[in-house]
Structure 1
Amino acid sequence: MSKMRNKAIEILKANWRDGYTVPSKNLYPYQWKWDSGFIAIGLAHFDQKMAEREVETLLNAQWINGFIPHIVFHKVSDTYFPGPNFHRADLHPLANKEYPSTGMTQPPVLGFTLERMHEIAKDKKESLQFIKNNIDRVYKNHQYFYNNRDPKDEGLVYIYHNWESGTDNSPLWDPIFETIDAPVYNFERRDTSIIDPSERPTKREYDYYLHIIDIAKEHNYNDAKIAEFSPFLVQDPLFNSMLIKSNSALISLYKMIGGNEDKIEQLEQWQEKSITSFNRKLYDKDLGAYIHYDLRNDKPIRMVSSSSFSPLYAGIPNKDQAEALVRTMMDKFGGEDMYLCASFDPSTDKFNPKKYWRGPVWINLNWMLYHGLLDYGFNDLAQRVKSDSIEILEKVGFYEYFDPRKSIYKGDVKGYGGSDFSWSAALFLDLTEN
């Protein structure tokens, strides 16, 4: 295990770029929002200052309205498309003028990132001072979501692009794309020249991705206009779970700091409304799982993915719901030949064990699932998720995503996507801290 931990630290140091960490050299040459949160947790285990700089660099790219973009383009690179010239985040009047970025976001991880960094920190006083200096910026990001991404005032925020979900090409989005008449774009992919195309989204899927961005650009990334006109508008249980988990973390941290009663009260109000709406609208009793809601077409997306179990991490389900989630997970995802937890329902014909978010195991979702299961007292299952994650990493190394089928791990097998992947290394450090 010590050899693996040393390798994980080596990867994180190699991917460090003077203030931030790239997810994977060449394939992802910039700073990604939710990656940075998970990476900072890993960095905190061997260098608290690096972890703090990771978070601070991301926060420095925050917009005037509290928005934090999903990619910050710190340097010019020709290995990634679409870059800053396509995204044109500067069209928004409140965009950050210093840091070129995208005009979309990703799951809000920084609240629970700060909390976990403080738990890890050896110098608690210094750590708390860092949190004092930065927590209001994270709060402002949450304020942005509730003020600008909740058109029905439900306490559930929308995403307007599948990239905002983090689960880019999930089969969840297929029914939505079927309703969109996207043009055929002429562009040069960079990812498929680095990685096997069979592991990546298709060219046609990219047409949809670019078309949704173009619509947002037409409206200068105005949230109200996007809510009115974007063909993709979804309430995502994974995204909202991370927001709710981060709300909870901010409440705890503000209480530790002292004062800030107004912010604590506001966070508690958001929590109450969010969790009530979450269970009312996104819990599907027949499926025994949380599902996505398509706001544009006003209907639930009744499919089960690893995102369906993420509310465990945020303390959203009641006891009966949590037990139902576990039954569903084991029935659909927990077969003898399967590592937990595949990113999409293996019992369906849409499951693809090697194609990005259409089936592979991802360490960040497993990390959340592990902690959520522990919180609800499912200790044996939590340990299985942890041991499955570690076993895969030990077999093939720190890749981006992994085949969930145990039977294929014979001979010279590798993981999928980017190699020396930062959050796989970072969360391995956190999972194996003891």
Structure 2
Amino acid sequence: MYAPAVSDLSAELWQSAARVLDLNWSGDHTVPSRRLYPHQWSWDAAFIAVGLAYVNPTRAWRDLRSLFEAQWPDGRVPHIVFDPDTAEDDYFPGPGVWNVPAYGRRRARSSTGLVQPPLHALAAWEVYRHASAHGAACVAEARTELAWLYPRLVAQQEYLAERRDAGGTGLAAIVHPWESGLDNSPAWDTVLDAVPADMSLLELHRRRDVAVTDAAQRPTDEDYARYIGLVLNYRDGGYSDTELAQRHPFAVECPGFNSILATAELALAQIAGVLGRTTDARRHRDRAREITAVVSRRLWDPDTRTFRARDARTGRLSPARCVSGLLPLMLPDLPAGQADAIMTEIRSERFGLPAPSADRTAPSFDTHRYWRGPIWINVNWLLRRGMQVHGHHGEAEELRRALLRLVHEHGHYEYFHPETGQGLGAPAFSWTAALCLDLLADRSAPAYAR
């Protein structure tokens, strides 16, 4: 097992993180947690691969490959790939609710019809970058895996850029809060207010999450009624993305999602370069600049100097300040004034480091409830990359140390109380463990070619 030189304290954290990833390995993929999330999740697989790059790169590639083996013919990568050995009732909403038709080598009901942030190109690039530390055979494996993944990663980007441009603006729209990865963020409140909350759906479809974890730390029943209603609407429309803004009640341009979309293009440019596809690399860099320009223009609120989600149906910006509005910092071509404004927001009383998932000063702030206040390791890891990209190395190091201290003191939890640091949600959570490995190794974010 490869590990960087670390202190005794860090070695203890390194070993515990590696044990979590071993515990959650299913033989084909890594689950986020055994009890609460017993299947494979899309952006979890990307974060997990980043950590596995240090301790088991073959498993990192297998995680990504198993996810993309479930890619739909239209290019979408499902947000959950269901484990056929897991019972329907062990997770809700399970395969029967989604009723996805068979495609390719996949049997019917093997996945959901939603997506999640396309972080996988960045993950693949990170696994490839670290391959040399494991020897020549690992480098050869990495090139083979990159060549297999590249066209599939491109198809994922094309699906999001073409089929999900609900507003005709050049940005991808999400059709469900789950697609953002930030499920119950206040960023969606104003859009969800217009979505009926049919509470009878929860009598037909019983929640599993509150049976295995504290309900006070999860989205509310009213949230879930709306979530299930949106799933059924999208499902009953055949998972079609045609005229989304006209026929589906939730179509939102998220600054975090689209920043990751642009970052994926930059990672694809690096991958294309390794594969000798010079023209493609140039095209990916151009595409990243185009997405960045639209994010900068369309999701920026000049009055408050913040990035906000925009409802593609009404054109209105969300009034909420959330961690998703900080993620454009990842973009190297973001105008300097906007990057500076994000750093000002991070330093303000509304956020601070590590950043909570929502504005600490807002009435909607909740220290326990999922994405409405708690600290999450994954979005702070993304913020740290953005700080490095824009030269804020001191604060990036401050954030790295704070995140490691949080996990060392409280455990590899899904998320953390923003004031006490108490671990919340699922214990032995895979992406927390995986990203601890990367933070311990302290590899700087790559300087992307512009």
Cα distance in 2 between the residues matched to 1:134 and 1:86? 29
**What corresponds to 2:135 in structure 1?**
none
Say which of 251, 256, 270 aligns to 1:238. Answer: 256
Cα distance in 2 between the residues matched to 1:153 and 1:232? 15
Distance 1:228 1:260, change over 3 A: farther
| 2:96 is aligned with 1:85 | yes
**What corresponds to 2:30 in structure 1?**
21
| 2:406 is aligned with 1:388 | no
Give the unaligned 5+ runs of structure 1.
none
**What corresponds to 2:345 in structure 1?**
328
Q: How many residues are matched?
A: 423
Maintained 8 Å contact 1:107/1:242: yes
Deviation of residue 285 (structure 1)?
2.4
**What corresponds to 2:147 in structure 1?**
132
The one-letter code of the counterpart of 1:140 is A
Q: What secondary structure does 1:384 align onto? A: helix
**What corresponds to 1:204 in structure 2?**
222
Cα distance in 2 between the residues matched to 1:281 and 1:146? 16
Deviation of residue 334 (structure 1)?
4.7
Q: TM-score, normalised by structure 2?
A: 0.90
Deviation of residue 288 (structure 1)?
2.3
| 2:381 is aligned with 1:367 | yes
Q: What secondary structure does 2:310 align onto? A: strand
CA offsets 1:109-163 (integer angstroms, 9 cap, x no match): 1110111111111243431222012211111110111120113442200000000
Distance 1:151 1:296, change over 3 A: closer
**What corresponds to 2:357 in structure 1?**
343
CA offsets 1:295-348 (integer angstroms, 9 cap, x no match): 12221113211111111123242212111111111113455xxx4210000011
Q: What secondary structure does 2:28 align onto? A: coil
Say which of 42, 46, 52 aligns to 1:37. Answer: 46
CA offsets 1:398-420 (integer angstroms, 9 cap, x no match): 00000111xx35xxxx4000000
Cα distance in 1 between the residues matched to 2:394 and 2:302? 24
Say which of 72, 85, 90 aligns to 2:81. Answer: 72
The one-letter code of the counterpart of 1:61 is A
**What corresponds to 1:277 in structure 2?**
294
**What corresponds to 2:426 in structure 1?**
418
Q: Which shifted more, 95-104 or 23-32?
A: 95-104
Maintained 8 Å contact 2:119/2:261: yes
**What corresponds to 1:287 in structure 2?**
304
Distance 1:317 1:95, change over 3 A: farther
Deviation of residue 95 (structure 1)?
10
| 2:205 is aligned with 1:191 | no
**What corresponds to 1:313 in structure 2?**
330
**What corresponds to 1:257 in structure 2?**
275
Q: TM-score, normalised by structure 1?
A: 0.93
The one-letter code of the counterpart of 1:100 is S
CA offsets 1:162-221 (integer angstroms, 9 cap, x no match): 000000011111111211223221132111111110000011110000001111122101
Say which of 14, 19, 31 aligns to 1:5. Answer: 14
CA offsets 1:212-249 (integer angstroms, 9 cap, x no match): 11111221011114343111110001111111001011
**What corresponds to 1:401 in structure 2?**
415
Maintained 8 Å contact 1:291/1:304: yes
| Sequence identity (%) | 32
Cα distance in 1 between the residues matched to 2:124 and 2:58? 13
Maintained 8 Å contact 1:11/1:421: yes
| 2:115 is aligned with 1:105 | yes
Maintained 8 Å contact 1:199/1:417: yes
Give the unaligned 5+ runs of structure 2.
1-9, 133-137, 443-450
RMSD: 1.8
| 2:266 is aligned with 1:248 | yes
| 2:439 is aligned with 1:431 | yes
The one-letter code of the counterpart of 1:87 is W
Q: Which shifted more, 117-126 or 43-52?
A: 117-126
